[in-house]
Structure 1
């Protein structure tokens, strides 16, 4: 998932959580209101029962009043129809009832009045047989009439008002008051606003209507019907209406905020990230230019990316030209090495010329003496053929020795044509002899310890040149520092597959600061007029590059200690 998608998802999730919290609070409040509504409904049911009692009190009072009327008691005896017409007719209109019946002790109807046709057959609707003349109490019960619904009945036993009712006194008859619970009566009950009264449950999908049942009992206590009270839960309805309105407003606000956040995310996150992604994929700085001057995170990122693109271009350019530059640098380095090597060779050649001059000086003096002797003997007439021949032999011997010296130096400075097998000891002796002219009469002692059988298969003259440089540097150090009884030690020995040559002196060595740089080009501890610092550098190149060995320097035994390690069987 991308960064912008994650941010948008988290924002949307936050809003949804807020909606969920509000919905949870609403549901919790609704549950509390429902509990209150149930309690209120129970109170309403109790109140409706009280209303029914109040409504039936008039019927009850009418039944009791008629039952205690002496004239009515006399009527049960006389059964005078005219009296009934004059005194009882129109009572149902006066008292708002639907039927009134007067029965004698035998439960025979003496008078009847009703405003509903089905009430004319009251004896079929009400079980007169259960009326008990010995029971002085008021009977209140309900009866179910097919196709008509429920009728409410009050039965009061008739007694004279001046008669003392004993336990075994019998009633003279019965007053039966009937009220039909028709639609008009139910509408009247519902009109009080307490609840909607019905004799059957209304099928209603309204969630805010609750139905409570009031059972209606018959004369013997049996259930003959049910009064259904439909109570409207107005508190829940108001709360739901308010909650839904608030929830809709919250959703609308959330959608608006999400759109605003989406636009902000697009402007400040999506578009910059898109431009950065395009720039990275295309390796192009153009999409980032509009962010370079901004002092924010995108400005810093764009600047860093542009710099990286520039660096990458430079690296690509350098990589393309790297091989060429390397070849040029290698060529320059080789040229410098050749120049240094040539300078070292020339310096060594100059040193050797001095040695040749020194080695020729004594033979030339001897030749001069021999020639002077021949000349004097000739002037003094003492020169004999035999004497002349002997002196000529001496001169030839001296000239031959001088010629041999020239050949030795000439061979030493000729370039190697390839690897040869040679004795390390003889190579050391030749290098010492090349330096002999500068060491004679300097009180410098050579100590050589190298067995004759040690041999190497490598470039002999290159190794000789290295030894010549090392011996020359040791000699220069001893002379410059005026070391009495100077000593140069050269030791050669074998160690496993290597031949090790150690060259040391007692000339005091170099300082610790100078020691790591003795093999650097142009580094020298001598006076600049006496050296250019190329000898040891070229020696290191010869040993490591040409002969595949190693060379290092340390301060030991009162002087500089050079160690050369060469592979014995280097091919």
Structure 2
């Protein structure tokens, strides 16, 4: 048996230190490092309870060991300053050399083992702390997730509300833009009706004068009535043209871009001529786009009106607007350029933003609506840049 070797290995690795006590609970033997686990001093070593107060009150259990009625007992996980954790194991020691079978206490000593469990205790504490930290972290994550879910729900409600507000605002903007364009068109209708109304009025007065003088001839009457009919037909055509302009189309169609531009210029050309603004159309005539022709016409009208307003703010001897159509790969290209001096560089990057206008009394709606019609409704692109003479707007569909 290698009992001594095993004992030496345990002792040398400092896993265990020991006391040996007698029946009077006096220490009769001890290991040289055992006092690091004790509260008392070496001078008090004759009193075990002074050195190891944890054993106070356990005299009954100790006596049971002396008697052999108990084989051992352990006091686990005792904390000792400055930072040790120990288990105290109590075992019977040496048997009496001369003892009768009736001896009530066959053991003459007890062994008190001090097992150093500091590393194990620290590991367990670390594991418990880590588990607690993970538990707290999981609890915190759960709380944060609940807060995040609530926040997301609130944000979804806010986003839905803002989207609804924006849709309503967009409808209002389109409506305001439509009213503005209708006002512009009414002015044009008024202008275009002035001449035929004057002609009808003059013809009617002539007929009245002839009738009063009884000089109204049948051929003369027929001729003048035909003239009145032609003037009223012209007025009817004008009204029909403006009705078609504002008639909404729910489905996209393929339309001739050059014809759409020409139609707008025919409608508004006279008012521009009165203000000495020349509007020229050039480019390819067989250029087609897929979208909403009336919305496209409204965009052209917005760009024409912006150019006209720029000329009226700073008139010149030669005021020119040029509209050009062309094919560009799988798209059609329409440019509207003028020689009105261009857009201030500080504003050109925000000119399409809502309520941004180069005019003091401008609403900033026109170009915003134009960009929405081209880019959102027809998936095209509306852009602008300055040239040497003025501004050039490009529409790609």
TM-score normalised by the chain length of structure 2: 0.67
In the alignment, is residue 330 of structure 1 matched against residue 125 of structure 2?
Answer: no
Choose the corresponding residue for 1:559, options 383, 390, 394: 390
Q: Which residue pairs with 1:283 in the alignment?
A: 140
Deviations 1:267-289 (A, max 9, x none): x988765543222112379xxxx
Root-mean-square deviation (CA), in Å? 3.2
Alignment of 1:15-414 (within 5 A): 256-259=81-84, 275-283=132-140, 312-414=145-247
Aligned length: 300
Cα 1:269–1:547 shift into 2, 3 Å = same
Cα 1:476–1:277 shift into 2, 3 Å = same
Which segments of 5 or more consecutive residues in structure 2 lack a partner in the other structure? 1-11, 14-29, 40-78, 86-117
Q: Distance in 2 between matches of 1:476 and 1:429?
A: 21
Choose the corresponding residue for 2:293, options 451, 455, 460: 460
Choose the corresponding residue for 1:535, options 341, 366, 370: 366
Q: Distance in 1 between matches of 2:157 and 2:264?
A: 41
Shift of 1:521: 1.5
Find the residue that maps to 2:349 and give its secondary structure: helix
Deviations 1:17-71 (A, max 9, x none): xx99xxxxxxxxxxxxxxxxxxxxxxxxxxxxxxxxxxxxxxxxxxxxxxxxxxx
Cα 1:284–1:443 shift into 2, 3 Å = closer
Q: Distance in 2 between matches of 1:427 and 1:563?
A: 16
In the alignment, is residue 544 of structure 1 matched against residue 369 of structure 2?
Answer: no
Deviations 1:64-85 (A, max 9, x none): xxxxxxxxxxxxxxxxxxxxxx
Shift of 1:488: 0.7
Q: Which residue pairs with 1:6 in the alignment?
A: none
Deviations 1:185-236 (A, max 9, x none): xxxxxxxxxxxxxxxxxxxxxxxxxxxxxxxxxxxxxxxxxxxxxxxxxxxx
Find the residue that maps to 1:517 and give its secondary structure: coil
Deviations 1:303-330 (A, max 9, x none): xxxxxx56x5443212224444333222
Find the residue that maps to 1:425 and give its secondary structure: helix
Q: Which residue pairs with 1:488 in the alignment?
A: 321
Shift of 1:479: 1.4
Q: Which residue pairs with 2:359 in the alignment?
A: 526
Q: Could you tell me whether the CA contact under 8 Å between 2:285 and 2:325 is conserved in 1?
A: no
In the alignment, is residue 450 of structure 1 matched against residue 283 of structure 2?
Answer: yes
Shift of 1:551: 1.1
Q: Distance in 1 between matches of 2:386 and 2:322?
A: 14
In the alignment, is residue 508 of structure 1 matched against residue 333 of structure 2?
Answer: no
Shift of 1:406: 0.3
Greater helix content: 1
Deviates more, 1:553-562 or 1:270-279: 270-279
Q: Distance in 1 between matches of 2:289 and 2:151?
A: 44
Q: Distance in 1 between matches of 2:295 and 2:350?
A: 22
Deviations 1:533-569 (A, max 9, x none): 1111111111111111111111123222111111xxx
Deviations 1:363-417 (A, max 9, x none): 1111122122223333444332211111111111111101110000001100013
Deviates more, 1:244-253 or 1:479-488: 244-253
Choose the corresponding residue for 1:432, options 265, 283, 287: 265
Deviations 1:498-549 (A, max 9, x none): 1111111111222112111111122222233xx4211111111111111111
Q: Distance in 1 between matches of 2:141 and 2:306?
A: 61
Shift of 1:426: 0.6
Q: Could you tell me whether the CA contact under 8 Å between 2:289 and 2:331 is conserved in 1?
A: no
Find the residue that maps to 2:286 and give its secondary structure: coil
Q: Distance in 2 between matches of 1:402 and 1:477?
A: 30
Cα 1:363–1:284 shift into 2, 3 Å = closer
Deviations 1:447-472 (A, max 9, x none): 21231211123211111111111111
Q: Distance in 2 between matches of 1:509 and 1:264?
A: 82
Structure whose CA Rg is larger:
1
